[in-house]
């Protein structure tokens, strides 16, 4: 009969099995939480409709060369032509097909909206995590810097910076991204101040986990829900901001197609009164895109708040 010469092995194995079950149970809770958030989101009919519309805009932007009937910069002999079978939405003052430029304009709005938000979410999350976790003088410096950035007239600063460095898709996306982080930083800081007092965070500190591991593996995942909600509304704001800059001639410059610079022609009374095909389509695109994103944000916010209320 064989004897177990090392009874500690059974104890270690039992602990490992227990830890494995605890991990699986924790993963199950996270999956259940995500599943419940998605289930509540899918019950929000306007949010689902907004998600479908926004996905259609993304598909249109990605498939612009396939969907566009003509090259957006191609000039035809028909100037300011009314809508017809050849040009479904007519041509502009230069003779370019409006429908083709409308389709390609989706690319600019999608890139600016998502790109700018990605930049300022990354900056805001890092600064918010550092300020909330370390506190004291670190928190004071970051929050005072945040107050300084929030005290500037946002649109005017962007307008001045873009005029200095030059209007382009990259410059607009970068400037909006680098100036939009204060709201996210404040949001993340507030979440970190409450999360860092939780027992599992204190246990991680006691076990000697590194600060980046605690911040990004234990604290940040529990603060993602409000970040996603804020970022969703931020995409809509960035799209409107880009359209405003392009309308003023400080955004994407022609011949590149942008919904904002297509609206520039609406500054003419003649265009407003007798050539609605030049300004109504890009205006509707901006309206539908922003409305769809706002519906998505409302659905996410309602789903998160109803789940947290439980």
* pLDDT tens, residue by residue, 255-279: 788 888 888 877 777 777 788 888 8
Contact 37, 225 (CB under 8 A): yes
pLDDT at residue 293 above 60? Answer: yes
The predicted pLDDT at position 77 comes to 82
Mean pLDDT over 170-190 rounds to: 89
Domains in the chain: boundaries: 53-63+99-308
What pTM was computed for the model? 0.79
Q: Of 246, 229, 235, which is closest to residue 282 (Cα–Cα)?
A: 246
pLDDT at residue 301 above 80? Answer: yes
Structural domain 53-63+99-308, CATH architecture:
Orthogonal Bundle (1.10)
Question: Within 13 A of 43's CA, how many CA atoms are on the CB side?
Answer: 11
CB atoms within 10 A of CB 166: 11
Give the model's confidence band at 15: pLDDT under 50 very low, under 70 low, under 90 confident, else very high. very low
DSSP letter for 196, please: T
The predicted pLDDT at position 34 comes to 65
Contact 296, 47 (CB under 8 A): yes
Question: Within 13 A of 94's CA, how many CA atoms are on the CB side?
Answer: 13
- Rounded Cα–Cα distance for residues 300 and 304 (Å): 6
The predicted pLDDT at position 194 comes to 84
N- to C-terminal Cα distance for the chain? 56
The predicted pLDDT at position 54 comes to 92
The predicted pLDDT at position 122 comes to 93
The predicted pLDDT at position 82 comes to 84
pLDDT at residue 309 above 60? Answer: no
Mean pLDDT over 211-222 rounds to: 82
Looking at every residue in the chain, the average pLDDT score rounds to: 81
Rg over alpha carbons for the chain, rounded to the nearest Å, is 26
Contact 176, 109 (CB under 8 A): no
- Rounded Cα–Cα distance for residues 245 and 162 (Å): 9
Cβ partners under 8 Å of residue 88, min gap 6:
69, 99
Can you say how many angstroms the Cα of residue 21 is from the centroid of all Cα atoms in its chain? 36
- Rounded Cα–Cα distance for residues 175 and 81 (Å): 37
pLDDT at residue 9 above 60? Answer: no
Give the model's confidence band at 30: pLDDT under 50 very low, under 70 low, under 90 confident, else very high. very low
Q: Which position has the token pair 């404040």?
A: 186
Mean pLDDT over 222-234 rounds to: 85
Lowest mean pLDDT across 112-126, 172-186, 202-216: 202-216
Mean pLDDT over 11-16 rounds to: 43
- Rounded Cα–Cα distance for residues 124 and 101 (Å): 34
pLDDT in tens, 93-117: 888 888 999 999 898 888 988 999 9
Give the model's confidence band at 24: pLDDT under 50 very low, under 70 low, under 90 confident, else very high. very low
The predicted pLDDT at position 307 comes to 54
Contact 203, 267 (CB under 8 A): no
Cβ partners under 8 Å of residue 181, min gap 6:
120, 121, 123, 124, 127, 149
Mean pLDDT over 162-188 rounds to: 88
pLDDT at residue 7 above 60? Answer: no
pLDDT at residue 25 above 70? Answer: no
pLDDT at residue 52 above 90? Answer: yes
- Percent of the chain past pLDDT 70, that is, above it, reads 87
- Rounded Cα–Cα distance for residues 236 and 20 (Å): 43
Mean pLDDT over 21-47 rounds to: 65
Mean pLDDT over 196-203 rounds to: 79
pLDDT in tens, 54-101: 999 999 999 989 988 888 888 888 887 888 888 888 888 888 888 999
């Amino acid at each position: 009969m064989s004897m177990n010469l090392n009874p500690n092995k059974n104890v270690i194995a039992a602990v490992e099995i227990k830890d494995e079950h605890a991990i699986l149970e924790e993963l199950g809770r996270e999956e259940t939480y995500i599943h419940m958030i998605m289930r509540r989101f899918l019950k929000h009919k306007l949010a689902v409709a907004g998600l479908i519309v926004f996905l259609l805009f993304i598909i249109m932007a990605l498939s612009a060369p396939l969907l566009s009937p003509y090259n957006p910069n191609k000039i035809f002999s028909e100037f300011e032509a009314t809508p017809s079978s050849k040009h479904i939405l007519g041509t502009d003052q230069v003779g370019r097909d409006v429908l083709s430029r409308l389709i390609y304009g989706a690319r600019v709005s999608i890139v600016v909206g998502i790109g700018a938000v990605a930049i300022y979410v990354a900056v805001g999350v890092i600064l918010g995590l550092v300020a909330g976790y370390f506190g004291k003088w670190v928190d004071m410096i970051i929050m005072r810097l945040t107050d300084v950035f929030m005290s500037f007239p946002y649109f005017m600063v962007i307008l001045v910076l873009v005029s200095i460095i030059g209007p382009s898709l990259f410059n607009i996306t970068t400037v909006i991204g680098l100036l939009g982080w204060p709201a996210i930083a404040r949001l993340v800081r507030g979440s970190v101040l409450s999360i860092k007092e939780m027992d599992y965070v204190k246990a991680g500190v006691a076990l000697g986990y590194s600060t980046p591991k605690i911040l990004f593996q234990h604290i940040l995942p529990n603060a993602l829900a409000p970040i996603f909600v804020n970022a969703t509304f931020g995409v809509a704001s960035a799209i409107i901001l880009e359209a405003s800059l392009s309308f003023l001639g400080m955004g994407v410059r022609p011949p590149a197609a942008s919904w904002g610079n297509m609206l520039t022609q609406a500054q003419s009374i003649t265009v407003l009164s007798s050539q609605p095909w030049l300004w109504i389509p890009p205006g509707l695109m901006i309206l539908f895109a922003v409305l769809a994103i706002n519906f998505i944000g409302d659905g996410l916010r309602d789903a998160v708040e109803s789940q947290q209320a439980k």
